[in-house]
Amino acid sequence: MDLGGRRALVTGGTRGIGAATAALLRSAGAQVVVSARSDPGGNPSPVLVADLSTAAGVERLADQTLAALGGVDILVSNVGGQVRRPGALDFTEQDWQQELSINLLAAVRLDRALAPHMVAQRAGVIVHVSSGAARVARPSSLPYSTAKAALNAYSKGLASDLGRHGVRVNTVSPGLIETSRMAEVAAERGVEPSAMLAQVAASLEIPLGRAGTAEEVAQLILFLASPAASYLTGSHYVVDGGAFPVT
């Protein structure tokens, strides 16, 4: 999985799955830049600051990426987020717009800006990070599930269109993953992160009996970005320890 000479952008790349992915891509020899809403400092990859919930923010990031790398060979759209409400009808118009913008349209807009450069060079890899929530639409996070389900459908269609140009598109859906965000949620609830993760894993009846790690998701993304996956496109890969049924 040698990625020497490849140029990569990882959105949401300063923490969690994004940071783990950026680290593995670098270790494989790729030149990597990451994006975030702000630069926390001390990141091993250059951080391009942009708000991907807006069209202008995506355009800015695309311009910054091309200026920093001179082109792009690997695009990992990992940025996302979710709002929770008590029930399905409690979400406001702003909630829906926000969820669709960051979880679906950020990837669509970034592909529109950067995929033409891959088409021109007749080579490239796009990986969209989705979620197991796309298959389990819980009322308390319905806009998020809806956006991720739409992302899965969009990814398949894009792969069908770009394949003839040598550009591969795949989707990765993590399940319960131990990240810094999970630790923050545990702190908000006043519980130990390990205890909370164990409880959630038990409630989901995960066959492997535990939460996954960001590195385990990143390993799959690395594989999909590498020449080892040269005949894989238009597919949806699940990293959830067997938690959710096949649909």
The residues carrying an active-site annotation are: 144
DSSP assignment of 34-101: EEESS--S--SSPEEE--TTSHHHHHHHHHHHHHHHSS-SEEEE--------SSGGG--HHHHHHHHI
* Two tokens, residue 47: 């951080």
Among the listed residues 110, 93, 94, the one whose alpha carbon sits nearest the alpha carbon of residue 12 = 110
DSSP helix, strand, coil percent of the chain (3-state; round to 5):
50, 15, 35
State phi, psi for 7 to the nearest 5 degrees: -115, 130
* Two tokens, residue 247: 């649909």
